[in-house]
Amino acid sequence: MSICPKNKSSKARRDSRRANWKMSNPTLVKCSKCGALMVPHQVCKACGSYNKKQIVEVDE
């Protein structure tokens, strides 16, 4: 006994199953310290702060 499909799946059925694999835009929020757009729950790349605290020194 092997794991094989009973009948051949058509191209339309295969492609309609794969139609929902889309990339979505990343969620961006404003940094609470400098106002730059950043990914939420991560250190801001512009100012190096997280949750209004300085975490990383950023060279400008």
State the alpha helices, DSSP H only, in 1-60: 11-18
| pLDDT of 1 | 65
How far from chain centre, in Å, is Cα 7?
36
pTM: 0.58
pLDDT in tens, 9-59: 999 999 999 998 888 999 999 999 999 999 999 999 999 999 989 999 988
| pLDDT of 33 | 92
- φ, ψ of residue 50 to 5 degrees: the values are -145, 130
Query: Angle CA(27)–CA(31)–CA(59) in degrees, nearest 5?
Result: 115
Domain ranges of the chain: 23-60
